[in-house]
Chains A and B, each alone.
Chain A
Amino acid sequence: SQQGEEDPQALSIQEGENATMNCSYKTSINNLQWYRQNSGRGLVHLILIRSNEREKHSGRLRVTLDTSKKSSSLLITASRAADTASYFCATDPSGYSTLTFGKGTMLLVSP
């Protein structure tokens, strides 16, 4: 069963703008991860945030986690056309990598 629910389902922005995607989940977690998928390809791990962390940065990515609200957000700053992809959040309840993925957000960045 699906755990995470991302919103929006689709997001269209211009290059240079920031993109924010949200993820809500239902049960307790050990960590939450964000992945990127280009069309017809596998997933690439972007960032992992543990349940005792509130914010994490990696390059142009910023992830927040609010365990009281069971939600996370992914912010991509200064977006580029190459950021066009689907982004998925995934929750790990135990730390043993049995991930449950959300439905994903399709991001389109126009030049």
Chain B
Amino acid sequence: GAVVSQHPSRVICKSGTSVKIECRSLDFQATTMFWYRQFPKQSLMLMATSNEGSKATYEQGVEKDKFLINHASLTLSTLTVTSAHPEDSSFYICSASWQLTNEKLFFGSGTQLSVL
């Protein structure tokens, strides 16, 4: 099956620093990638939809300047948490769809962000 690689798996940073998370589709071209946030024992909340070569579409309540998303190629999307604060600590997961009309998603293994 298709593989989505997400790095890093865990990051600890100081408050005020920026953290970049990468999401790569290893063996397929992902026209669309999705970024989610998950708090402990809770569901996934969609943050934004990323389309290659265009600006990301953010969900209501998600700060665009806080969570910068770049989808520069068909195999790579990045999420940068800028000026991180402790309340940004969470589990971030990306997913990718193979083709625009392929409903099935392939997920990365997630990134646990801890902001001190």
Contacts and interface: CB of A to CB of B under 8 A. Distances in A.
Is B one of A's binding partners? yes
Interface of A: 2, 30-31, 33, 35, 40-45, 48, 88, 92, 95-104, 106
A99 B45 CA distance: 9
A44 B107 contact: yes
Nearest to A88: B43
4 nearest A-B pairs in the assembled complex, by CB-CB distance: A42-B107, A97-B97, A43-B107, A42-B109
Nearest to B93: A42
Contacts of B100: 96
- For chain B, what secondary structure do more than half of its interface residues adopt (helix, strand, loop), or is it mixed? strand
A35 B95 CA distance: 12
Contacts of B36: 101
B107 A31 contact: no
Given A2-B43, A42-B108, A103-B43, A96 B95 contact: no
B46 interface: yes
Contacts of B91: 40
Nearest to A106: B41
Interface of B: 4, 6, 32, 34, 36, 41-46, 49, 91, 93, 95, 97, 100-110, 112
Given A2-B43, A88-B44, A103-B42, A42 B103 contact: no
